[in-house]
């Protein structure tokens, strides 16, 4: 893949106390690439992508995102976060603000855009996630699927260069998973660079360029989806796939 490098992790470790949550992890994500990360619970998937926007600090190794080397207290971290969108499992919308305000507060306060410019962008992305009519509601009045789409739009309003997703559909009722995945597929088709932690293997097959399988803080396997789904290199990944594809 010829694209420019967006995220470069070299041998990073992360400890919580004495517990090693990331163990010698190396990964490269290039412009326009879609990486899907999967693995059993507690394997360090969230920890890894939270390192990518500095919500966690790694303890050893080198991590470079958008050309900025991250370390604890890095002064460039705020600038970097404007270019790295993040979507959380629990949505984390701002409950005291309307949907529109959720989308404009970042551009207005952080990027110092005018209200008009910010609202214009916000409406564009509300259209993109197919809920233009919900602009004036509070998040609490929306369904889970709608809330997660607002959260995606909130990130997009900052015009990020890469989007991180941490199990974006795990907190949703089954009938709402589809509408969120559809939005993510469209985003992938528009050329966005994405790192997605998910167990939705149908989605992974459709959009992934690279599959990453983690276990116990390590990346056990990195392979293209054709290989990963038909003939994974590691026995662990094969076992994991058998388990989740059974349902």
Partner 1 sequence: MAPPRPMSFARLMNTRPVAVALYLAIMGVIVWGSYVGAQNMGYNWQWYQVPKYLFTFTEDGFQFGEIMVGLKTSVVLSVSAFVLAVVIGLVVALLRLSGLVVGSAVAVGFLELIRNIPLLVLLYLFYYVLGPIFGLDRWAASILTLAVFHGALVSEIFRAAINAVPQGQWEAAASIGMSRAQAYRWIILPQSVRFMLPPLTGEMVHLIKSSAIVSVIAVAELTTVGRNIISETFMSFEIWFTVAAVYLVVTLILSIGVSRLEKRFATNQ
Please give the residue ranges that form the binding site for partner 1 (CB under 8 A): 53-55, 78-79, 81-82, 84-86, 88, 90, 92-96, 105-106, 109-111, 138, 140, 154-155, 158
Task: Kindly state the tokens that stand for 11.
Answer: 């041998």
- 198 near Mg ion, rule: CB under 5 A: no
Binding mask 16-55 for Mg ion (x = CB under 5 A): ------------------------------x---------
Q: For residues 129 and 220, which CB has a smaller minimum distance to partner 1 in the complex? A: 129
- Beta carbons within 8 Å of 221's beta carbon, 6+ residues apart: 211, 212, 213, 228, 232, 233, 234, 236, 237
Q: For residues 47 and 148, which CB has a smaller minimum distance to ligand ATP in the complex? A: 47
Task: Kindly state the tokens that stand for 49.
Answer: 């992508």
Q: In angstroms, what CA-CA distances link 132 with 21, 32, 96, 164?
A: 40, 27, 19, 23
- 46 near ligand ATP, rule: CB under 6 A: yes
8 Å CB contact between 223 and 211:
yes
In the set 1, 26, 42, 72, which binds ligand ATP (CB under 6 A)?
42
Q: How many residues bind ligand ATP (CB under 6 A)?
A: 11
Instruction: Write the burial class of residue 174 (CB in 10 Å: 0-12 exposed, 13-18 middle, 19+ buried).
Output: exposed
Q: Which does 14 bind (CB under 5 to 8 A by kind): Mg ion, ligand ATP, partner 1, none?
A: none
In the complex, minimum distance from the CB of residue 157 to partner 1, in angstroms, rounded to a whole number: 8
Q: By three-state DSSP, how is residue 106 classified?
A: helix
Q: How many CB atoms lie within 10 A of CB 88?
A: 19
8 Å CB contact between 156 and 128:
yes
In the set 34, 36, 38, 47, which binds ligand ATP (CB under 6 A)?
47
Residues within the interface to ligand ATP (CB under 6 A) = 16, 19, 21, 39, 41-47
């Amino acid at each position: 893949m010829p694209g420019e490098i967006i995220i470069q992790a070299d041998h990073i470790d992360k400890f919580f106390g004495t517990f090693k949550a990331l163990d010698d992890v190396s990964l490269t994500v290039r412009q326009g690439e879609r990486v899907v990360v999967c693995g059993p619970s507690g394997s360090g998937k969230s920890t890894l992508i939270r390192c990518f926007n500095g919500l966690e600090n790694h303890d050893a190794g080198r991590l470079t995102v958008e050309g900025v080397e991250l370390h604890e207290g890095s002064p460039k971290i705020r600038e970097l976060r404007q270019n790295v969108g993040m979507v959380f499992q629990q949505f984390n919308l701002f409950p005291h603000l309307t949907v529109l305000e959720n989308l404009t507060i970042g551009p207005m306060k952080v990027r110092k855009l005018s209200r008009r410019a910010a609202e214009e962008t916000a409406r564009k992305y509300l259209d993109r996630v197919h809920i233009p009519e919900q602009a004036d509601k509070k998040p609490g009045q929306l369904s889970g699927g709608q809330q997660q789409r607002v959260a995606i739009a909130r990130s997009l309003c900052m015009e990020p260069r890469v989007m991180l997703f941490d199990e974006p559909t795990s907190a949703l009722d089954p009938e709402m998973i589809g509408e969120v995945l559809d939005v993510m597929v469209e985003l992938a088709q528009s050329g966005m660079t994405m790192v997605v932690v998910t167990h939705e293997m149908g989605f992974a097959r459709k959009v992934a360029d690279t599959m990453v399988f983690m276990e116990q803080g390590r990346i056990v396997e990195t392979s293209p989806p054709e290989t990963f789904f038909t003939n994974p290199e590691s026995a662990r990944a094969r076992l994991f796939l058998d388990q989740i594809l059974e349902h």
